[in-house]
């Protein structure tokens, strides 16, 4: 059996046959001959004529410890649709690529599970090559259809560098996938998403969950006025805990303060703070005892703690049909509180009441977005950070948007 026959059967290069083999110093070069008679433009048009031709090489998967290169003649053609001269597309590689499609798919699959430095070392290529390959694979798989049939979306931000560098991530609640990533977290960033979504698809949006950012509210009201804005319950409780912290700091607790002076530690303060902030189901016997002490010594602090628990009940046990009346009564009680922090919180809740009630009635939260953010943090830690926003955005699309990349052995 000839060597070329062996490589044809083992490699199975798409649309070509191996007609020559050369091996020197651990490098194997396979000469290919295309089977198709017509030349194919990257846009899909096939033509018969050509301007000229040249020899080009593509890096392929290693074989028996040797680096493998594919070599073939490539023609330049005139494309009637593009109205310009273009280099023909070969079936075994993506347009303008210097690696075979199989090599790139393997790199992309590994990038979803390893850091790029390790992938580069394993595949014997540069980190920059891995970064470009991931971008090419994402561009090929990511099309405009991902923005179709969006009804309920979640919008959240995530930091990627120190110095307040953020990405805005848009998640489809129904499919649990990332559909858009943009640099920044202002009005212009989210407006760019709505512009890409288009007028007709914006009209189909029914609900948008967010964390109460004024920028996100403004962009949504302007570009998708028919969508109901829902404020994430987690962030609402976070506002309440911040007000509770302010009330706690301004309140003197003799027992706790005396313990802190004697032991010179913030342990008692942490225990008291956790007992006040945590939900009832997380409290231990020690925490409940501490709450009794706070109730007996600082009734004002215990009252704001009860207000916090009542607001938490809105999202857990209150019937959605009674949410509006319940929240209205809560705002009135908080507005009469002795704590300035809770009076300010009552005003803030009043301004966001419609979005809070909508979240309760529709049963929506930013849990999808928070789950995606956790995956993004894993991507960041696995890659030891990303120097550019576009690099991280590409990895988010690769790992969290539903892109399926198969290994050559899985086909």
Is 204 inside any structural domain? yes
CB atoms within 10 A of CB 241: 17
Q: How far is CA 257 from CA 117, 260, 264, 270, 271, in A?
A: 51, 5, 10, 12, 12
- 276 lies in the same domain as 322: yes
Residue 10 has pLDDT above 80, yes or no: no
User: Burial of 216 by CB count in 10 Å (0-12 exposed, 13-18 middle, 19+ buried)?
Assistant: buried
What's the pTM value of the predicted model, to 2 decimals? 0.85
Q: Which residue range forms the structural domain that includes residue 153?
A: 144-232+365-403
Is 104 inside any structural domain? no
Give pLDDT tens digits for 56-115: 999 999 988 889 999 999 999 888 888 888 888 899 999 889 999 999 999 999 999 999
- Number of domains the chain contains: 3
- Helix (H/G/I), strand (E/B), else coil: 198: coil
Q: How far is CA 161 from CA 257, 374, 392, in A?
A: 38, 16, 11
pLDDT, the chain, mean: 88
- 176 lies in the same domain as 246: no
Helix-helix angle 285-297:254-263, to 10 degrees: 120
Is 211 inside any structural domain? yes
Structure tokens at 199: 């007028």
- 352-354-355 Cα angle (round to 5): 70
- 254 lies in the same domain as 369: no
- 270 lies in the same domain as 322: yes
Distance (Å, rounded) from C-alpha 245 to C-alpha 236? 14
Q: Which of the four pLDDT bands, split at 50, 70 and 90, describes residue 399?
A: very high
> 146 Cβ partners below 8 Å, 6+ apart?
177, 179, 401, 402
- 238 lies in the same domain as 350: yes
Residue 262 has pLDDT above 50, yes or no: no
- 179 lies in the same domain as 255: no
77, 92, 107 - which closes a domain: 92
Is 408 inside any structural domain? no
- 155 lies in the same domain as 243: no
**Between 298 and 102, whose confidence is greater?**
102
Distance (Å, rounded) from C-alpha 245 to C-alpha 261? 20
Is 181 inside any structural domain? yes
- 241 lies in the same domain as 352: yes
- 169 lies in the same domain as 253: no
Are 143 and 149 within 8 A, CB to CB? no
Helix-helix angle 299-316:267-277, to 10 degrees: 40
Is 194 inside any structural domain? yes
First to last CA, the chain: 26
Residue 238 has pLDDT above 60, yes or no: yes
- Helix (H/G/I), strand (E/B), else coil: 221: helix
Residue 250 has pLDDT above 90, yes or no: no
Percent of the chain at pLDDT > 70 equals 94
pLDDT of 42: 87
Q: Which residues pair with 289 in a beta bridge?
A: none
The CATH number assigned to the domain holding 156 equals: 3.30.420.10
Are 103 and 60 within 8 A, CB to CB? yes
Residue 9 has pLDDT above 90, yes or no: no
Q: In the predicted model, what is the mean pLDDT of residues 282-301?
A: 82
Are 97 and 104 within 8 A, CB to CB? yes
- 9 lies in the same domain as 70: yes
DSSP tag of 250: H
- 150 lies in the same domain as 84: no
Q: In the predicted model, what is the mean pLDDT of residues 379-408?
A: 89
pLDDT of 268: 61
Are 247 and 301 within 8 A, CB to CB? yes
pLDDT of 284: 81
Distance (Å, rounded) from C-alpha 283 to C-alpha 276? 9
Please choose, from the candidates 203, 159, 200, 156, the residue with its C-alpha nearest in 3D space to the C-alpha of residue 179.
156
Distance (Å, rounded) from C-alpha 240 to C-alpha 69? 62
Is 101 inside any structural domain? no
Give pLDDT tens digits for 203-215: 999 999 999 889 9
Are 244 and 305 within 8 A, CB to CB? yes
Is 99 inside any structural domain? no
Distance (Å, rounded) from C-alpha 174 to C-alpha 351? 28
**Between 157 and 298, whose confidence is greater?**
157
pLDDT of 55: 92
- 2 lies in the same domain as 43: yes
Distance (Å, rounded) from C-alpha 145 to C-alpha 127? 31
User: Among 82-91, 226-235, 268-277, whose mean pLDDT is lowest?
Assistant: 268-277
């Amino acid at each position: 059996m000839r060597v070329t026959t062996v490589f044809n059967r083992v490699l199975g290069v798409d649309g070509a046959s191996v007609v020559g083999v050369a091996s020197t110093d651990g490098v194997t070069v396979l000469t290919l001959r295309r089977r198709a008679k017509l030349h194919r433009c990257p846009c899909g048009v096939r033509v018969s004529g050509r301007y000229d031709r040249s020899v080009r090489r593509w890096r392929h998967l290693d074989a028996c410890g040797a680096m493998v290169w594919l070599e073939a003649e490539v023609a330049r053609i005139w494309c009637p649709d593009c109205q310009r001269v273009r280099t023909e597309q070969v079936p075994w590689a993506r347009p303008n690529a210097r690696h075979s499609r199989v090599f790139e798919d393997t790199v992309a699959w590994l990038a979803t599970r390893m850091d790029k430095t390790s992938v580069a070392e394993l595949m014997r290529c540069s980190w920059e090559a891995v970064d470009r390959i991931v971008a090419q694979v994402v561009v090929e798989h990511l099309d405009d259809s991902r923005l179709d049939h969006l009804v309920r979306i979640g919008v959240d931000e995530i930091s990627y560098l120190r110095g307040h560098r953020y990405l805005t991530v848009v998640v489809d609640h129904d499919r649990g996938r990332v559909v858009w990533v943009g640099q920044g977290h202002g009005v212009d960033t989210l407006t760019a998403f709505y512009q890409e979504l288009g007028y007709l698809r914006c009209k189909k949006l029914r609900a948008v969950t967010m964390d109460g950012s004024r920028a996100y509210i403004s962009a949504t009201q302007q570009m998708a006025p028919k969508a109901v804005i829902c404020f994430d319950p987690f962030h609402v409780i976070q506002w309440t805990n911040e007000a509770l912290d302010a009330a706690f700091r301004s309140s003197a607790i003799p027992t706790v303060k005396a313990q802190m002076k004697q032991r010179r530690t913030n342990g008692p303060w942490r225990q008291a703070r956790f007992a006040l902030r945590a939900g009832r189901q997380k409290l231990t016997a020690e925490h409940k005892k501490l709450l009794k002490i706070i109730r007996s010594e600082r009734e004002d602090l215990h009252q704001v703690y009860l207000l916090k628990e009542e607001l938490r009940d809105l999202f857990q046990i209150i019937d959605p049909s009674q949410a509006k009346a319940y929240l209205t009564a809560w705002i009135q009680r908080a507005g009469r509180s002795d704590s300035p922090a809770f009076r300010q919180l009552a005003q803030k809740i009043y301004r966001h009441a419609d979005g809070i009630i909508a979240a309760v009635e529709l049963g929506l939260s930013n849990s999808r977005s928070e789950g995606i953010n956790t995956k993004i943090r894993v991507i960041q830690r696995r890659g030891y950070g990303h120097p550019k926003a576009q690099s991280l955005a590409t990895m988010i699309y690769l790992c969290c948007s539903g892109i399926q990349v198969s290994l050559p052995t899985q086909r």
